[in-house]
Amino acid sequence: MLFEFVSDFELSLAKGDTMFVSRSMTRNVITVDKEKNIFDAQELMAKHRIRHLPVVDPDNRLIGIITDRDIRSALPYNFFRDTPSDEEKARFCSLKVMDVMSSNPIAISASHTIQDALLLIQDSKVGALPVVDDNNKVTGIISVRDLLRAFINVLGIGEPGTLLCVLVEEKVGQLKKIVDAITEENISFGSVLVARYWDKNKRAVFPYLLTQNVVHIKKKLEKLGYELLDPMQWYIDQLPQHERSENPEE
């Protein structure tokens, strides 16, 4: 199922720059020098509880990225299982950040959108993207964790509310009617998501409404001719077949 943002009309879905990397990235980014040894880098990660360090030159220009996995891969597999002795550590101390980092890392600009960041992270299979300015200087980092936070915000699920599911035919103006009907009832939106390809020629619209009182709006939407999907129905469809058959009454 593909969730897509409603962008074709004004909703209070996103305030101004919420949808940009600049808003969601971590600004006080921890970086590391390429000449440091890998244990220094690892200590930095442990201290700040992070897994990615952009590697920069003295002018703060991005030259690489090092992850905790890069470091582990450079060491014998059981290195950290037994606390390594100083002697053993010394053997690997000559390994520098520049020896194990990825050069030419994939980076993104602060003016890109979080959708860009999501697609780029998915496409490049990395856990974080350094954020750079026009001079390739590091201004931040955006990780999967940052994107999760951004999406929780966009979904509005940090605020109390109720989720509805409305099935609509795939034709122009449907969404507007639904939004108008809800707005007339003085109900605020947390978010609206649309799932395409729900059914042939149908889409499922999921308004997340910031209210406990949805009985009346549900009836109103039904009166307008929309089919409201029972939440039970949409999660049962997701259950594995054997679990479904265990509940024949459903």
> Which residues make up the interface to another protein (CB under 8 A)?
157-163, 185-188, 210-213, 215-216, 230-232, 235-236, 250
Helix/strand/coil for 176 = helix
To the nearest whole angstrom, how small is the minimum distance from the Cβ of residue 96 to another protein?
41
| Complex with another protein: residue 109 or 162, whichever CB lies closer | 162
Nearest CA among 187, 192, 194, 188 for reference residue 168: 194
To the nearest whole angstrom, how small is the minimum distance from the Cβ of residue 250 to another protein?
6
To the nearest whole angstrom, how small is the minimum distance from the Cβ of residue 108 to another protein?
31
| Complex with another protein: residue 67 or 153, whichever CB lies closer | 153
To the nearest whole angstrom, how small is the minimum distance from the Cβ of residue 194 to another protein?
17
Contact status, residue 148 vs residue 47, Cβ threshold 8 Å = no
Count other C-beta atoms under 10 Å from residue 128's C-beta: 26
| Complex with another protein: residue 62 or 214, whichever CB lies closer | 214
| Complex with another protein: residue 93 or 236, whichever CB lies closer | 236
Q: Tokens at residue 113, please?
A: 């959108």
Contact status, residue 176 vs residue 126, Cβ threshold 8 Å = no
**Euclidean distance between CA atoms 71 and 55, whole angstroms:** 14
